[in-house]
Amino acid sequence: MQQLIPAVGFGLITASILAIAAVGFTLQFSVTNILNLAYGDIMTACAFAAYIANQAGVNIWISLVVAALFGAVFSMLINRFVYFGFVRRGTKLFGMIIVTIAVSLIIQNLLLAIFRPTFFSYHASAGASYHLGSMVFTASQLAIMAIAVVAMLLIHVLLTQTKLGKAMRATATNPGLARSCGIATDQVIDVAWLISGALCGVAGVAVVLNTATFSETTGAGFLVPIIAAAVLGGIGQPYGAMLGALTIGIAGEVAAALINPSYKDVIAFLILIVVLLVRPQGILSEIAAAKEVTA
């Protein structure tokens, strides 16, 4: 029991980071129908963008904004110059996944070649510690959670209250019909990549702030929990991804505290397998069903 409550605390932080990342991942999937397995490596690239800004003397929170901007533009460019070309050629779904993995290999190893195989960390202090019951949070961890909450609220407002959000939802559900209704789906897709890239950048920096050091594989290592959270929630469902992130984050940290820290990802994997066996469309299943995830 003594271990449990602090573990839930850690779980909340992981869940916050995971929620930011998983919502970006799933939002982009719902609009573009591409499972972007390079997502984790884009996260790493963003973390390095923030690192460069940070090394140049910029405050870490402004570096985070830099990372978000970099992620947004980088994601959109990858789509414009790589993915979209293959989609236009009618590349099949599993063909696209090979493409995304090739991109992932390229990004990860270019980063390795440029930055060399060592560990990096930001010039940032974790700030004072705050005790909430037996949970302990540093100031920067509280900030990460606040950022996650704000990001989720913004996504909610975007999807439900704005014309753009409605256009995105329409494109996600039925692109052909959306086009017939006069929605410029190409622009909507660009915007989806921009938003997902920005969330990816924020998540990338948040991961590093939480774990203190990073290397060229940090983001890729985070990909499994992201996928698990997205699939658990019903892939393509931003709200599902939030729920999924909360579940995976807390379950992973509790398992780490009670069993063995290195099995944190195994929990995510087990949840993924069980969901796929029992309910491949996830908890919230509208879009997953429309996209025929189960065959």
Partner 1 sequence: MQFYISTLLIYLFIDIMGVLGLNLQFGVAGIINFAYIVFIAVGAYTAAVVSLGPDYPGNFQHYVFGASWPFPLPILAGGAAAAVLSLVVGVISLRRLRSDYQAMVMLVLSLIATLVASNATGLVNGPAGLATIPQPLYDQLGLSPLDYQWAYAGWAAFLTVVVFLFVQGITRSPLGRTLRAMRDNERAASALGKGVTALRLMVFVVGGFIAGVSGAVFVEFIQAWSPGSWLYPETFVFLAAILVGGAGNNWGAMVGTLLVPVGFLEATRYLPAIFYQGFIEAMQWVCVGLLILLFLWFRPNGLFPEQPGRFRRRPLITGGSTRVPAVPVAPPAPVD
Q: Could you identify the residue written with the tokens 């729920």? A: 243
**Sole binder of partner 1 in the list 124, 147, 272, 284 (CB under 8 A):** 272
Out of 5, 52, 73, 112, the residue judged to bind partner 1 by CB under 8 A: 112
Site string (141-180) toward partner 1, x via CB under 8 A: ------------------------------x--xxx--x-
Q: Are 283 and 244 in contact (CB under 8 A)?
A: yes
Are the CB atoms for 174 and 292 separated by under 8 Å?
A: no
User: Can residue 109 be called a binding residue for partner 1 (CB under 8 A)?
Assistant: yes
Pick between residue 156 and residue 291 the one whose CB is nearest to partner 1: 291
Report in angstroms how near the CB of residue 60 gets to partner 1 at its nearest.
27
Paired tokens of 90: 């009618």
What phi and psi, each to the nearest 5 degrees, are found at residue 275?
-60, -40
> Encoding tokens for residue 288?
């997953």
Could you say whether residue 32 binds partner 1 (CB under 8 A)? yes
Contact 175, 185 (CB under 8 A): yes
Site for partner 1 in 70-89 (CB under 8 A): 82, 85-89
Residues 6+ apart with CB under 8 A from 60: 50, 54, 122, 123, 124, 205, 209
**Least distance CB 211 / partner 1 (angstroms):** 17
Please give the distance of CA 235 from its chain centroid, rounded to a whole number: 12
| Single-letter amino acid code for the residue at 62 | I
Over the window 120 to 139, marking each residue x when it contacts partner 1 by CB under 8 A and - when it does not, the resulting string is --------------------
By three-state DSSP, how is residue 251 classified? helix
Residues that bind partner 1 (CB under 8 A): 32-35, 37, 82, 85-99, 101-106, 108-110, 112-113, 116-117, 171, 174-176, 179, 185-186, 189, 223-224, 227-228, 235, 260, 262-263, 265-266, 269, 272-273, 276-277, 280, 289-295
